Each structure stands twice: as C-alpha cells, then as structure tokens.
C-alpha cells in the first residue's frame, strides 16, 4: 500500500516572498501565519517582503522557515492529503515536531525562535563556514575532513553528497583537498557551522529551554536527525532535540528507512526543493513533490490524488 511522508525543509532553502501565495490560497495556511505573527510580530512580513540578507540571519531564518513549512503541511491536510510519517532536515525537524502534535504549534514556534537565537549566538562566536562536498562517498569525505583542524562531516545527504562544517581558516585547504580527490566543494548560504561542536553553547541553551516544555505522543511517526530512526518515546525528545544541533543529520539513513517501511511518495513542505532533489538521488523510483506556493500545492494535490 502506498505511503506518504511529509519532509520539512532545512535552512538555506529560504528565499524572499516565500509562502505568500500559499497564505493567500489556503485558510489553514493563513491561520498558521497568523499564529506565528501573534507570538513573533512581523514573521509573515519578513517571509513575504524580507530581503535575502534578512532571511539569511539565523535568528530570522528559523522562525520564518517554520511558518512556511507548517503552513504548507496544514494546507495539504486541508486539501485531504495526510502523511503516514514525518521527517525534517535540521530546523525542519521542529516544524515536523509541531505538525506531529508531539508539541503544540505555539510551543514549537517559541522553541524554534529560541533555537534560532542560540544558534545565531554560537555562529557569531567563531569564524566558520559550511560546504557541500559532491562526487565523493561519505567515507572518503570523513577521511579528508579528519586531516584538517576542526572540520566535521555534519549532513549525510546522499551517496555522493556530504556537507562539512568547520573553521574558515581550515576550509580553503579542505576544499583544495576535495578537488584534488576528484570531488567538488560548494559553499553554502548559512551563517555558521551547524550540527558541529561549534554549536555547543546552543545545545546547552536549548537543553535548558526544553525543560519548560511538555511533549505528547506524535500523531504520525516522527524521524530523528540524530539516529535516522523514529523517536523512541516522549521522554527522549528533550535530549534528542538538544543533541540535534551538535550532531550530524542522518538524512540518507532517514530516507532509506522510510522507503523500506513502504513510503513511495515524499512531499517536501517548505521553501524550495532541496530535499526532493536529495531524495531523488537516493532512490529515483520514488515520487517527489514540493509545496511552498499555491501552484505547488495545486500540482501536488493533482499528482497525489491522481496517482
């Protein structure tokens, strides 16, 4: 039997104007934006009218991404499309958490705002960067990274794409080593060394913030970036969500496990189509759609309902 997974976009996919046509087309999406505005005034305006530079600031990016992602998921359910499982890439995991019902949308939005602030502070504390390494297997990327001071594999995106984060002072040498090995290192539009030890102070702050939240069992299976598997129990959420910011994202592992468990349709909810592109490279046989606009919503409805 066919199964659907909603996958929630990660940081770096943001763009000016994101989510506006979705808000206009769906009352459920509009309600999400209104809720976010009631907690963090100006969130919708920043998504719809913010500059590229504003949207790249982590303390803005994360709440803005959350709003678009949860709005897109809500619009799909309003149209009669529900998932069988959920996963989110990095900050997308907080959107997936909210949509799953494990934490209310209100509390999840407050959490993602705090997460963005903490990760911005950690980013400002060190001169770091991130690159996507393509054309090389993960094991080779790990070996190359180990040759340089404080360079870490942080996103295992697919069989030939691994993102690394590290000190800017080490990155030029690392990129040269990647090129010499036959790969390519592509700088990413992010503000820090996410999912690496450089986020240690953010993890500590997040662990403290998470003490104030109460979690419920999710409505849908929710997959963890840290383990690549579903969360095991409500009591694990605070620890895993804090660990997530200093741990590699096991994206390929998540996708392969979802497919093994019967998922054959992935719908990316949120800005862009980065995740659907990665999923198509992991397994070209699965169906991939993305929803971040009214057009994307309508196209996805047609593709899913018409088989």
Q: What is the pLDDT of residue 196?
A: 97
Dump pLDDT digits (tens) for 65-90: 999 999 999 999 999 999 999 999 99
For 52, counting Cβ atoms within 10 Å of its Cβ (0-12 exposed, 13-18 middle, 19+ buried), the class is exposed
Q: Could you tell me if 208 and 245 lie in one domain?
A: yes
Separation between Cα atoms, residue 162 and residue 277, nearest integer Å: 14
Q: Could you tell me if 301 and 211 lie in one domain?
A: yes
Q: What is the pLDDT of residue 239?
A: 95
Q: Could you tell me if 108 and 22 lie in one domain?
A: yes
The tokens for 246 are 């200093």
Q: What is the pLDDT of residue 307?
A: 67
Q: What is the pLDDT of residue 213?
A: 95
Separation between Cα atoms, residue 58 and residue 163, nearest integer Å: 18
Cβ contact 198:245 at 8 Å: no
Q: What is the pLDDT of residue 69?
A: 98
Any idea which residues carry the catalytic annotation? 90, 195
- Using CA atoms of 234, 193, 292, 218 in order, give the dihedral in degrees to the nearest 10: 0
Q: Could you tell me if 238 and 254 lie in one domain?
A: yes
Q: Which of 96, 109, 161 is nearest to 134 (CA)?
A: 161
The tokens for 143 are 């070996």
Dump pLDDT digits (tens) for 141-153: 999 999 999 999 9
Separation between Cα atoms, residue 43 and residue 273, nearest integer Å: 22
Task: Pick the last residue of a domain from 145, 169, 187.
Answer: 187
Q: Could you tell me if 104 and 239 lie in one domain?
A: yes
Q: What is the pLDDT of residue 1?
A: 60
Above 70 in pLDDT, residue 225? yes
Can you tell me which residue has the tokens 């102070």?
201
Q: Which of 128-132, 146-150, 187-191, 210-214 has the lowest mean pLDDT?
A: 187-191
Q: Could you tell me if 28 and 166 lie in one domain?
A: no
Q: What is the CATH number of the domain that holds 295?
A: 3.40.366.10
Q: Could you tell me if 207 and 72 lie in one domain?
A: yes
Q: Are strands 161-167 and 128-134 parallel, antiparallel or unpaired?
A: antiparallel
Q: What is the pLDDT of residue 2?
A: 84
The arithmetic mean of pLDDT across residues 246-263, rounded, is 97
Task: Pick the last residue of a domain from 158, 187, 216.
Answer: 187
The arithmetic mean of pLDDT across residues 193-217, rounded, is 96
How does DSSP assign 13-33, residue by residue? Answer: ---TTTTHHHHHH-HHHHHHH
Q: Could you tell me if 142 and 87 lie in one domain?
A: no
Q: Could you tell me if 66 and 168 lie in one domain?
A: no
Q: What is the pLDDT of residue 128?
A: 94
Task: Pick the last residue of a domain from 168, 187, 206.
Answer: 187
The tokens for 88 are 């989110």
Local confidence band at 97 (pLDDT 50, 70, 90 cut-offs): very high
Q: Does residue 192 form part of some domain?
A: no
Dump pLDDT digits (tens) for 33-53: 999 999 999 999 999 999 999
Q: Could you tell me if 81 and 149 lie in one domain?
A: no
The arithmetic mean of pLDDT across residues 114-143, rounded, is 96
Q: What is the pLDDT of residue 305?
A: 87
The tokens for 26 are 């769906």
Mean pLDDT of the chain: 96
The tally of domains found in the chain comes to 2
Q: Does residue 182 form part of some domain?
A: yes
The tokens for 30 are 């509009």
Q: What is the CATH number of the domain that holds 137?
A: 3.30.70.250
Residue 259 DSSP class: H
Q: Which of 101, 110, 25, 100 is nearest to 67 (CA)?
A: 110
> Helix 251-260 vs helix 274-282: angle between axes, to the nearest 10 degrees?
60
Strands (E), the chain: 3-8, 85-88, 128-134, 151-158, 161-167, 184-187, 263-269, 287-291
Half-sphere exposure of 255 (CA within 13 A, CB side): 29
Residue 144 DSSP class: H
Q: What is the pLDDT of residue 100?
A: 97
Helix (H) or strand (E) holding 275: helix 274-282
Percentage of the chain exceeding pLDDT 70: 99
Q: Could you tell me if 159 and 270 lie in one domain?
A: no
Separation between Cα atoms, residue 16 and residue 60, nearest integer Å: 12
Half-sphere exposure of 299 (CA within 13 A, CB side): 13
Q: Could you tell me if 152 and 295 lie in one domain?
A: no
Cβ neighbours of residue 121 closer than 8 Å, sequence gap 6 or more: 201, 202, 205
Q: Which range marks the domain in which residue 25 is found?
A: 3-124+197-305
């Amino acid at each position: 039997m066919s199964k659907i997974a909603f996958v929630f976009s990660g940081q770096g996919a943001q763009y000016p104007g994101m989510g506006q046509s979705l808000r206009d087309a769906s009352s459920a999406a509009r309600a999400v934006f209104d809720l976010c505005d009631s907690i963090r005034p100006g969130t919708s305006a920043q998504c719809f009218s913010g500059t590229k530079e504003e949207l790249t600031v982590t303390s803005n990016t994360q709440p803005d991404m959350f709003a678009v992602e949860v709005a897109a998921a809500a619009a799909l359910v309003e149209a009669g499309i529900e998932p069988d499982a959920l996963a989110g890439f990095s900050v997308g995991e907080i959107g997936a958490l909210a949509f799953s019902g494990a934490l209310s949308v209100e509390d999840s939005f407050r959490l993602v705002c705090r997460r963005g602030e903490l990760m911005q502070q950690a980013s400002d504390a060190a001169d770091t960067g991130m690159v996507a390494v393509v054309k090389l297997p993960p094991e080779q990327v790990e070996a190359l990274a180990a040759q340089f001071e404080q360079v870490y594999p942080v996103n295992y995106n697919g069989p030939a794409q691994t993102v690394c984060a590290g000190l800017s002072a080490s990155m030029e040498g690392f990129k040269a080593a990647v090129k010499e090995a036959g790969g390519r290192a592509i700088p990413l539009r992010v503000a820090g060394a996410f999912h690496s030890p450089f986020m240690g102070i953010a993890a500590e702050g997040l662990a403290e913030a998470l003490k104030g939240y109460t979690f419920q069992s999710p409505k849908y299976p929710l997959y963890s970036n840290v383990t690549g598997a579903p969360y095991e129990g409500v009591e694990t959420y605070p620890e895993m969500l804090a660990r997530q910011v200093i741990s590699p994202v096991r994206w390929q592992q998540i996708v392969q496990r979802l497919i093994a468990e019967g998922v054959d349709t992935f719908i990316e909810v949120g800005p862009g189509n980065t995740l659907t592109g990665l999923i198509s490279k992991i397994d070209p046989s699965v169906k991939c759609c993305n929803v971040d606009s009214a057009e994307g919503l309508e196209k996805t409805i047609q593709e899913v309902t018409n088989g």
